[in-house]
Structure 1
Amino acid sequence: MKSILKLTLVMSAYNKTDVHPSTFILVGIPGLEAAHLWISIPFCVVYLLALLANFSLLFIIKTDPSLHEPMYLFLCMLAVADLIVCTTAVPKLLSLFWFNDGEIRLEAFLTQVFLIHSCSTMESGFFLAMAFDRYVAICNPLRHSMILTNTVIREMGLAIVLRGTVLLSPHPFLLRWLPYCKTSVISHTYCEFMALIKIACAETRIRRAYSLIVAFLTGGVDFILIICSYVLILNTVFHLPSKDARLKTLGTCGSHVLVILVSYTPAFFSFLTHRFGHHVAPHVHIFVANIYLLVPPMVNPIIYGVRTKRIRDRFHNKFNIWDGPLTLPEVFSR
């Protein structure tokens, strides 16, 4: 019955002649509609883990003054951006998967577009800020506290937020008054700029160009600068006299590099597929786009929690977790 109702909604959307529809219909992952319920289970689990991990990280850093250092403060900013991105998209995604509720009003669609894209841009900026912190800490350690003062950290955080807000705020307005006479059905699970602009029946080259330029000036430039910072870091590390010192210094950067790889890989795949990947299967593209929204917010705090001893120790102390190997009888007795 639900499948028939959904099909009726989709067909009625296709037959619409309104060029400025007030609602759109998200269909989920194309070709995998029958598996939506099963796909929703790991998606829901990952989302709940992301909430738990990020709120735990924020609580630990907030309540421990010894962690009020640049690296951890930028990590808090990243956690907030992660929470906004996944919470903006996942509840509607789960509603679609569980109740076939794919209908979304244009205003809600544009709000999702702005929040997802602007906060994703902020995430990229926080990665760059964290890379800059690692560069100063390793390449110029004696001046680290003088360069990255609390005032400088606040100003960097504010600049990153303003950059994401100002550069991405035109996106909803670029989409708002476009005519959508082709269809109001969108083959996606959440609201993306390119997903909507593809179904417009008007000239969109300027809008696409603006989106491309913004993406390069934010994520692209950030990624290039992050690579440059790590080239300088590696150059400094390999000139350290002691092998132990080199390994220890590389270890402090390992968490950051791993988080960057987890976040940027699906992001670049989704971005490039939208614009150039015409031969990529739609279900593969949409699935990876969902991975980009769900996995980094869950993995980021876990990676830092596991690989950063100070956070791990505070977590054990705050939640009274026993830190040591458990024998099999002890596991069952707990």
Structure 2
Amino acid sequence: MVNSTQSSYFALVAYFDTFGYFKYHYIYFMIVMCLYMLIICANVLLIVVICVNRSLHEPMYMFLCSLFVNELYGSTGLFPLLLLQILSDIHTVSASACFLQIFCVYTYGNIEFLNLAVMSYDRYLAICFPLQYNTRMTAKKVVVLIALIWLLTFFVNIFTLTLIVPLQLCGNIINKVYCDNHSVVKLACSDTTINNIYGLIVTSLSVFCPLFLICYTYIKIFKVCFSGSKQTRQKAVSTCTPHLTSLLNFSFGACFEIIQSRFKMTGVPNMLRIFLSLYFLTCPPLFNPVMYGLKLSKIRVLCKGMIYFNWNKS
């Protein structure tokens, strides 16, 4: 299609196999739209509850608020373009929009992993050092950690964009329903050694460093739980269960996306491959606020109170 030049647009060809003759694209549109609305409502509700209630202005809830903001951000990087593409007859996206989506998707993934790692560190301090928790996890430290998560991730992914934008491309066909860095790099005619090395380093650091911290903190937490009182075990279970569930949920989707981006998976049906590639961008933003809202009693009670108050007011 394009011969050793910079593409002004990219074709997202996975839609053609999935939606066929567009017999069901309105149904797909309604399903995706409802999913997006649910994600927005669930995350916004939890963010508002945490922000307006001073009793939730604690480190654990501040990190949760950062998590919910990131999930709104990641969903917004995916769903508006996805909805437009479902209704479109020509599944193309401009180069600038494609690069912007790559930036949003990758920053979302990096922030999610780092945020979950910091949350595990916070639970480690709360359970293993309960008497020193307030001095070790101060409000200033919380702000610094959240700022570092976001700023560092944005800086890393801005540099990723500076490496892929100048690439000379021999094609413009991406076999997915959204843009991703690896798909664009595979289209390059020019040398991509730096891109590949940098991508490998960033992927390794953004996955293995947070996982190492999470594993270390949970080993320490489990040691305290097994040797501690029943009250300590109950506290650990109530606060760590949702965190571990959200970690496993996100890790499954992210690992599948990394694997299927780098290896041909011709044996997997196209519809299933698309669903699994979207999993880490759709399921955590939907399930996390629901799960934390149900599992954490403080949030659950305040959510019920807020909904009940607004219902009576109306």
Query: Structure 1 length as normaliser, TM-score?
Result: 0.86
Q: Does 1:214 align with 2:202?
A: yes
Q: CA deviation at 1:29?
A: 4.3
Asked if the contact 1:28–1:96 (Cα under 8 Å) also holds between the matched residues in 2, the reply is no
The one of 147, 157, 173 equivalent to 1:168 is 157
Larger radius of gyration: 1
Q: CA deviation at 1:270?
A: 0.7
Asked if the contact 1:139–1:233 (Cα under 8 Å) also holds between the matched residues in 2, the reply is yes
Q: Does 1:110 align with 2:96?
A: no
Q: Which residue identity does 2:187 align to in structure 1?
A: I
Q: Equivalent residue of 1:25, what SS?
A: strand
Task: Give 1:252's aligned residue.
Answer: 239
Q: Which moved more, 1:146-155 or 1:211-220?
A: 211-220
C-alpha distance 109-50 of structure 1, shift in aligned 2 (>3 A): same
The one of 231, 251, 259 equivalent to 2:219 is 231
Encode CA deviations 1:280-328: one digit per residue, 9 max, x unaligned. Answer: 5372433212121111111111110011111000001011089xxxxxx
Give the whole-Å Cα distance in 2 for the aligned partners of 1:277 and 1:70. Answer: 43
Asked if the contact 1:131–1:230 (Cα under 8 Å) also holds between the matched residues in 2, the reply is yes
Task: Give 2:130's aligned residue.
Answer: 141
Where in structure 2 are there 5+ consecutive unaligned residues?
none
Where in structure 1 are there 5+ consecutive unaligned residues?
1-13, 323-334
Q: CA deviation at 1:41?
A: 3.3
Asked if the contact 2:15–2:91 (Cα under 8 Å) also holds between the matched residues in 1, the reply is no
Q: CA deviation at 1:18?
A: 6.3
Q: Which moved more, 1:49-58 or 1:221-230?
A: 221-230
Query: Structure 2 length as normaliser, TM-score?
Result: 0.91
Give the whole-Å Cα distance in 2 for the aligned partners of 1:76 and 1:104. Answer: 32
Task: Give 1:73's aligned residue.
Answer: 62
Q: Which residue identity does 1:25 align to in structure 2?
A: A
Task: Give 1:19's aligned residue.
Answer: 5
Q: Equivalent residue of 1:200, what SS?
A: coil
Q: CA deviation at 1:240?
A: 1.3
Give the whole-Å Cα distance in 1 for the aligned partners of 2:29 and 2:224. Answer: 46
Q: Equivalent residue of 1:24, what SS?
A: strand
Q: Which residue identity does 2:79 align to in structure 1?
A: V
C-alpha distance 206-27 of structure 1, shift in aligned 2 (>3 A): same
Asked if the contact 1:30–1:282 (Cα under 8 Å) also holds between the matched residues in 2, the reply is no
The one of 25, 33, 40 equivalent to 1:44 is 33
Give the whole-Å Cα distance in 2 for the aligned partners of 1:107 and 1:23. Answer: 8
Task: Give 1:293's aligned residue.
Answer: 281
Asked if the contact 2:107–2:153 (Cα under 8 Å) also holds between the matched residues in 1, the reply is yes
Q: Does 1:311 align with 2:299?
A: yes
Encode CA deviations 1:161-180: one digit per residue, 9 max, x unaligned. Answer: 12201211111121112122
Q: Over the residues paired in the alignment, what is the CA RMSD in angstroms?
A: 2.0
C-alpha distance 136-85 of structure 1, shift in aligned 2 (>3 A): same
Q: Which moved more, 1:191-200 or 1:282-291?
A: 282-291
